[in-house]
Chain A
Amino acid sequence: MDKANRQRELVREFSPTIEKYSILLKVWIGILIAIILVGFYAFYLQVTKGHEITGMRDNVVWGIYIINFIFFVGISYSGAFISGVLHYYKSPWKNAISRIIEIMTVLSLVIGPVFILLCIGRLDRLHYLFLYPRIQSPITWDIIAIMTDLIGCFIFLYLTFIPDMAVLRDSQDLNVPNWQKKVYKFLAFGYQDTPEQRKTIHKLVRSMSIMIIMLALMAYSVLAWIFSLTIQPGWNSTIFAPYFIIAGLYSGVGVIIILMFLIREIFNLKHYIRKIHFFASGIILLILSILFGYFTFTDYFAKWFSHKPDDINLLNTLFNNYFWEFIFANYIGVIVPVIILLYRKFRTPLGVTIAAVISVLGLWLNRYLIVVPTLETPFIPIQDTRPEFLYYTATWVEYALSFTGIAAFCLFFTLLIKFVPVIPIQGIIENEEEAELSITEPNNLQ
């Protein structure tokens, strides 16, 4: 196989996704920017008027911001974990989805922590966290974990970008602006795809993949400990860390499936992102949904069976005030995906994606039920206060900023896949070379 020719073919194949900005794409980007601008206005109002314009009060000090934070960070850790495993074990179908996962991982880890900043009433005192950190506090652990993980994910993403940057740098056919070519050249870091360089990059990617698997497990456990190391009924649970990890993987796989489906349909990449990918990821989602359902059941069953008054108060709140949310999050959000994915005939791209959408929505709601009703059922209830101080209802400002987070994720994802091929070109070539080698030298397989 002539590598240079094959590179040219692949660049030509993927160049429309990089070069062209269709009307539809421009409209899409415009809508996302409009949503982000509304979010900026909401943020301006929140900074100038304070948290008074949110639904957060003395009793319920955390609202949908923290839920979005947990959700985004969960997706990121899940992506890091899956990506690390795919690279470390050189999975045969990693090439089709690895870039989607890596971009998702980094973007959600950038956007997620922004939501925690929105929870802070006095942003002007944010630097105190760094000036006077308490190593004993899980919040300090979380800050260290997130920052370390973010840098690790950036390095990991960059390492996987380098070979494709070199391909794009060397492609004269590619009709992109000069600044973009300069960026490709800079990011390619002099990579020439020599056997020695390829070996080094693979070695570095593998070592980083171990790191980010470890970091994902540690960081998401620390996030769970922020809740479970308190004595708050509903949070003080020994299984919270593994529960969070399973939930994060569940939501992460769900979002990956949704992104796979959209990219496959929009860019017509059916020969790269094939049915087998959906079939396999459907089985992973099925296993995770069963595990997630098991953890959820165990957590609530222990609370119900122990019959501690505070836990019973919480369960009463959940079953009285949040009945339908509870049913959707913990029954429909688990059982429906399981039913869809159990049947082989439903494990089509569309069927698996529908199951993924339900599981992602159910999981977001599950996070809501972990945070809000728990805070509404404290050890010592606040007395003689206004009813609106006791219960939480998100305001338009919070919804606007939440949608801004989603819009920012979509916008950056769109811009990044306009910058690099969504399927790694160098990965395709390497796969083809290995396949060729295995045909010409069958003993290599033994």
Chain B
Amino acid sequence: MKIINNKLSRIIVIIFAIASVINTYAQEFVQDNYRTFYNFSMLKQDDNTRSLKVRYVLQHAEDKTVEHPVYKAQIKFINKLDDQEVILAEVLTSKNGIATLTLPENQKYLKDKEGNITLIARFEETEKLEAQEEEIMFKDIFLDFNLAEIDSVKTITLNAYTLNNKGEQLLVEETDVAFYIGGMLSKMKINDGTLESGSYEFEYEHNLPGDENGLLTFYAQIEDHEEFGNVTKMKTMNWGVEHSVPKKVKNSLWSKNAPGWMYAVLAFLLILVWANYVYVVISLFKLKKSIKKDLYKGPIQGN
């Protein structure tokens, strides 16, 4: 009996050992197949507030369409200068793996001598996930976006400047800007160019329809700039060309009742065909009635 028990316990130990090895292998296998996608971005918005955004997902190494967002990950947004760190806020990621923070226009930042601001988005290590950190360094930029009709020419002007430590304006040079018009689903690019002596100007020549009041929304954007990051400015102007609202097409085929001509044609065709059927059937009965009994010669005799 002892021998049996010993054998049994050995078998159980071996099974557990194999199972734990398989389990460990499976876990490693899963981790190996996924890579971390941790992205930190910043956008200075039209009202001079700043939107900070972190997207934290685990992406399948082979099939990039397979993503697992990291939910409820605590992201610390920090303003850093040398060794000094100021925590701006701590935000948990959403079900989509996104943490966002909007900083107000009057937010005070730590800046270096050249006016550079450094922001960090940090995720601290947990039992299951490694620590993540991304840093953005940018200079504050101010955009002055104007739309005006000068000598009957619709002119769009963008002026850009930064402020030095004394609060003096410094014109921005050699910076690419792009201009868009807002649409229902996305923006349409209408122009792009480079700021020179802090300014860029062009004529608006498009004949685009606006909303029902002829209003168009214009956007001036600096995109992924190494010094200023993402900055956008927006303005609405009554430059949409007049467009007649298309008349509501009344498709009678989709209405509750069919158009009269359809009933007429169908009725005519059906009456034509069915009248013929009725005529044939009546003729057959007449044929039967017309048979005189004395004409009937009886069945054909065999042989």
Q: Do B287 and A155 touch (CB < 8 A)? A: no
Q: Do A171 and B299 touch (CB < 8 A)? A: yes
Q: Do B262 and A197 touch (CB < 8 A)? A: no
Chain B proximity of A5: nearest CB distance (Å): 9
Complex CA–CA separation, A187 to B265 (angstroms): 35
Answer whether residue B263 sits at the interface, using C-beta atoms and an 8 A cutoff: yes
Answer whether residue B303 sits at the interface, using C-beta atoms and an 8 A cutoff: yes
Residues of A within 8 A of B297 (CB): 192
Q: Do A152 and B277 touch (CB < 8 A)? A: yes
Chain A proximity of B302: nearest CB distance (Å): 4
Q: Which of B2-10, B105-113, B278-286 lines the interface with chain A?
A: B278-286
As a 0/1 sequence over residues 6 to 30 of chain A, the CB contacts with chain B under 8 angstroms (1 = contact) are 0110000000000000000000000
Residues of B within 8 A of A194 (CB): 291, 295
Q: Nearest CB to that of B288 among chain A residues?
A: A190
Q: Which of A207-215, A247-255, A295-303, A426-434 lines the interface with chain B?
A: A207-215
CB-CB under 8 A for A200 and B288, given A8-B300, A135-B262: no
Answer whether residue A159 sits at the interface, using C-beta atoms and an 8 A cutoff: yes
Q: Do A172 and B291 touch (CB < 8 A)? A: no
Q: Nearest CB to that of A204 among chain B residues?
A: B280
Chain B proximity of A149: nearest CB distance (Å): 9
- Considering only residues 167-191 of chain A, those with a C-beta below 8 Å from chain B are 169-173, 189-191
* Contact with B296, one of A192, A196, A200, A203 (Cβ below 8 angstroms): A192
Answer whether residue A276 sits at the interface, using C-beta atoms and an 8 A cutoff: no
Residues of B within 8 A of A414 (CB): none
Residues of B within 8 A of A171 (CB): 299-300, 302
* Contact with B273, one of A152, A169, A196, A201 (Cβ below 8 angstroms): A152
Q: Nearest CB to that of A173 among chain B residues?
A: B302
Chain A proximity of B259: nearest CB distance (Å): 8
Answer whether residue B290 sits at the interface, using C-beta atoms and an 8 A cutoff: yes
Complex CA–CA separation, A201 to B290 (angstroms): 13
Residues of A within 8 A of B284 (CB): 159, 189, 204
Residues of A within 8 A of B277 (CB): 151-152, 155, 211
Q: Do A204 and B295 touch (CB < 8 A)? A: no
Answer whether residue A134 sits at the interface, using C-beta atoms and an 8 A cutoff: yes
| Interface contact tally, CB-CB below 8 A | 77
CB-CB under 8 A for A200 and B270, given A8-B300, A136-B253: no
Q: Do B253 and A159 touch (CB < 8 A)? A: no
Complex CA–CA separation, A8 to B302 (angstroms): 7
Complex CA–CA separation, A7 to B297 (angstroms): 15
Q: Do B300 and A155 touch (CB < 8 A)? A: no
Complex CA–CA separation, A191 to B252 (angstroms): 51
Q: Do A170 and B299 touch (CB < 8 A)? A: yes
Chain B proximity of A7: nearest CB distance (Å): 6
- Considering only residues 97-112 of chain A, those with a C-beta below 8 Å from chain B are none
Residues of A within 8 A of B1 (CB): none
Residues of B within 8 A of A332 (CB): none
Q: Nearest CB to that of B281 among chain A residues?
A: A155
Answer whether residue B33 sits at the interface, using C-beta atoms and an 8 A cutoff: no
Chain A proximity of B74: nearest CB distance (Å): 30
Residues of B within 8 A of A192 (CB): 291, 295-297
Complex CA–CA separation, A148 to B283 (angstroms): 19
Pick from B254, B262, B273 the residue with the most CB of A within 10 Å.
Answer: B273
Q: Do A208 and B276 touch (CB < 8 A)? A: yes
Answer whether residue A120 sits at the interface, using C-beta atoms and an 8 A cutoff: no
Answer whether residue A218 sits at the interface, using C-beta atoms and an 8 A cutoff: yes
Answer whether residue B268 sits at the interface, using C-beta atoms and an 8 A cutoff: no
Q: Nearest CB to that of B257 among chain A residues?
A: A135
Answer whether residue B30 sits at the interface, using C-beta atoms and an 8 A cutoff: no
* Contact with A172, one of B253, B255, B276, B302 (Cβ below 8 angstroms): B302
CB-CB under 8 A for A207 and B302, given A135-B258, A148-B273, A215-B273: no
Answer whether residue A4 sits at the interface, using C-beta atoms and an 8 A cutoff: yes
Answer whether residue A126 sits at the interface, using C-beta atoms and an 8 A cutoff: no
CB-CB under 8 A for A211 and B283, given A136-B258, A190-B291, A194-B295: no
Pick from B263, B266, B284 the residue with the most CB of A within 10 Å.
Answer: B284
As a 0/1 sequence over residues 110 to 141 of chain A, the CB contacts with chain B under 8 angstroms (1 = contact) are 00000000000000000000000011100001
Residues of B within 8 A of A201 (CB): 287
Chain B proximity of A387: nearest CB distance (Å): 14
Q: Nearest CB to that of B296 among chain A residues?
A: A192
Q: Do A189 and B280 touch (CB < 8 A)? A: no
Complex CA–CA separation, A199 to B270 (angstroms): 27
Answer whether residue B301 sits at the interface, using C-beta atoms and an 8 A cutoff: yes
Complex CA–CA separation, A204 to B276 (angstroms): 9
Answer whether residue B245 sits at the interface, using C-beta atoms and an 8 A cutoff: no
* Contact with A159, one of B255, B274, B280 (Cβ below 8 angstroms): B280
Residues of A within 8 A of B281 (CB): 155
Residues of B within 8 A of A215 (CB): 273
Answer whether residue B184 sits at the interface, using C-beta atoms and an 8 A cutoff: no
Answer whether residue A439 sits at the interface, using C-beta atoms and an 8 A cutoff: no
Chain A proximity of B96: nearest CB distance (Å): 16
Residues of B within 8 A of A45 (CB): none
Answer whether residue A339 sits at the interface, using C-beta atoms and an 8 A cutoff: no
Complex CA–CA separation, A208 to B284 (angstroms): 13
Complex CA–CA separation, A30 to B271 (angstroms): 44
Residues of B within 8 A of A148 (CB): 270, 273-274
Q: Nearest CB to that of A190 among chain B residues?
A: B288
Answer whether residue B150 sits at the interface, using C-beta atoms and an 8 A cutoff: no
Q: Nearest CB to that of B269 among chain A residues?
A: A218
Q: Do A135 and B266 touch (CB < 8 A)? A: yes
As a 0/1 sequence over residues 214 to 234 of chain A, the CB contacts with chain B under 8 angstroms (1 = contact) are 110010000000000000000
Q: Do B280 and A207 touch (CB < 8 A)? A: yes
Chain A proximity of B101: nearest CB distance (Å): 31
Complex CA–CA separation, A207 to B274 (angstroms): 12
Binding site for A on B (CB under 8 A): 252-255, 258, 262-263, 266, 269-270, 273-274, 276-277, 279-281, 283-284, 287-288, 290-291, 295-303
Knowing that A4-B300, A144-B270, A152-B273 touch, tell me 6 more A-B residue pairs with CB under 8 angstroms.
Answer: A134-B258, A136-B254, A159-B280, A159-B284, A192-B295, A218-B269
The 4 closest A-B pairs by CB, nearest first: A135-B258, A173-B302, A190-B288, A170-B299
Can you list 24 pairs linking A and B with CB atoms under 8 Å apart? Answer: A4-B300, A8-B300, A134-B258, A135-B266, A136-B258, A148-B274, A151-B277, A159-B284, A169-B299, A170-B299, A170-B300, A171-B302, A172-B301, A172-B302, A189-B284, A190-B291, A191-B287, A192-B296, A192-B297, A197-B287, A200-B283, A203-B283, A204-B284, A211-B277
Binding site for B on A (CB under 8 A): 4, 7-8, 134-136, 141, 144, 148, 151-152, 155, 159, 169-173, 189-192, 194, 196-197, 200-201, 203-204, 207-208, 211, 214-215, 218
